[in-house]
Amino acid sequence: MKKKHLLSGKPINRKPIEADIRVTKLVDEYFQAYNAGRLREACQLFVEKMLQNDVTVGMSLTGALTPAGLGGSCIVPLIKAGFVDWIVSTGANLYHDIHFSIGHNLHRGTPFVDDRILRKEGVIRIYDILFDYKVLLSTDEFIREVLKQPEFQKEMSTAEFHYLLGKYVREREKVLGIKDMSILSAAYEYGVPVYVSSPGDSSIGMNISAMALNGYKIKIDITKDVNETAAIVYWAKSTGGKSAVLIFGGGSPKNFLLQTEPQIQEVLGIDEKGHDYFLQITDARPDTGGLSGATPSEAVSWGKVDPDKLPDAVVCYTDSTIAMPILTSYALAKRKPRKHKKLYYKINELVENLKNAHLKAVSKGKIKI
């Protein structure tokens, strides 16, 4: 690389920031270096490339985001705008988001409090968020009453389970006059499939298990989740479009989002190259083994990311609770809403397409089953 190219970036801006600056100008002109620079690149990648109409956007969620209000303030607006087409989340994020939908409040607090006192007073703490222990009991009771309904008495994917649960959550919001939807109710309204990669690892999963002990027939089939998520990505790519991943945190949801490509290529024997766009917000490091699923360049070796699209990959090392509101505000200001893909209603057709492609690969000897 020649000096002229190396010094082709915009000169560093030293102009004083004006009062009441718009977030778009703040990001574009003042997020210049270090992880502010990476967050600027993330915002620009999301808006300029990932939100093109032919791109299918999958989002993964880890960390206690919804107790901090990010479900209603950020994720729901992204769903409403058609900026997120499918989701993989921890069960906890979906569970804690339901608190708001059934009329409960969580409160700003402090992490510097004696937890023994909190236990005695019946107060739950999520770092600096505080709420009444009865909120958990009330939410559990609501979920169990919903799970008694006839449509839940069968085996299903987590996407179908969350769609059905979202219907009841949405109805409760309407009854209570709650205008701000939860993730599940918004996903229900707009046909966005929501998956949980570890369905037993949350209070929702715990309540499902309790209902099973009491003779109810509800059961989660994780194999459907694996095939459905792979089918979504295969459909996006095989129809001439692109696949993008928007990752908040790491953990199981991140890997579940990314493993769709190895499932297509390695396991099912279908020719594919990997996701086209990769955007991750994380505070973990790869050298300690803590950055689950590793960096985009390492993901190339697994077939998770298209090697030709590696320049369209950004990792920003910062707190999701900082980055998500900025990214959401930036995107809503810069892009018009997209038409909703409503993938939930197409999922059976997409799985059939995936199955046919797999059987074709088997018949050609590309994979042995």
Q: What is the pLDDT of residue 292?
A: 62
Q: What is the pLDDT of residue 293?
A: 63
Distance of CA 294 to the CA centre of its chain: 17
Closest CA to 94 of 232, 246, 207: 207
- Please provide the average confidence, as pLDDT, over all residues in the chain: 95
**Mean pLDDT, to the nearest integer, of 142-162?**
98
Torsion, Cα 198 260 296 367, to 10 degrees, reads 130
Q: Which residue has the tokens 């989701």?
A: 87
The one-character DSSP state at 302 is T
Burial 170-181 (b: 16+ CB within 10 A, else e): bebbeeeebeeb
**What pLDDT, in 10s, does the model give residues 210-258?**
999 999 999 999 999 999 999 999 999 999 999 999 999 999 999 999 9
**What pLDDT, in 10s, does the model give residues 246-291?**
999 999 999 999 999 999 999 999 999 999 999 999 988 888 877 7
* Residue 201: half-sphere exposure toward Cβ, Cα within 13 Å: 11
Q: Which ranges of the chain does DSSP label H, i.e. alpha helix?
A: 3-6, 23-30, 34-45, 70, 76-80, 91-101, 115-121, 133-147, 158-176, 183-190, 203-213, 222-238, 251-258, 260-262, 296-301, 320-334, 347-363
First to last CA, the chain: 48
Q: What is the pLDDT of residue 309?
A: 79
**Mean pLDDT, to the nearest integer, of 35-61?**
97
**Mean pLDDT, to the nearest integer, of 145-160?**
98
Burial of 263 (0-12, 13-18, 19+ CB in 10 A): buried
**What pLDDT, in 10s, does the model give residues 63-121?**
999 999 999 999 999 999 999 999 999 999 999 999 999 999 999 999 999 999 999 99
- Residues with a catalytic annotation lie at 304
Q: What is the pLDDT of residue 344?
A: 98
Burial of 273 (0-12, 13-18, 19+ CB in 10 A): middle
For the chain, list the domains and their CATH numbers: 17-362 (3.40.910.10)
Q: CA 234 → CA 187, 260, 291, distances in Å? A: 21, 8, 26
Q: Which residue has the tokens 């990311």?
A: 305
**What are the backbone angles phi and psi of residue 156, rounded to the nearest 5°?**
-155, 165
* Residue 258: half-sphere exposure toward Cβ, Cα within 13 Å: 29
pLDDT of 20 strictly over 70: yes
Please, are residues 97 and 181 in contact by the beta-carbon 8 Å criterion?
no
Torsion, Cα 221 225 231 232, to 10 degrees, reads 140
pLDDT of 343 strictly over 70: yes
Overall residue count recorded for the chain in this entry: 369
Q: Which residue has the tokens 């988001």?
A: 97
**Residues in a beta bridge with 129:** 108, 126
Q: CA 324 → CA 103, 173, 199, distances in Å? A: 25, 24, 24
Distance of CA 71 to the CA centre of its chain: 11
Better-scored residue on pLDDT, 243 or 300:
243
Does an H or E element contain 59, and which?
A: strand 55-61
Q: CA 313 → CA 164, 245, 324, 365, distances in Å? A: 35, 10, 17, 34
- pTM score, two decimals? 0.95
Q: Which residue has the tokens 């559990």?
A: 140
The one-character DSSP state at 268 is T
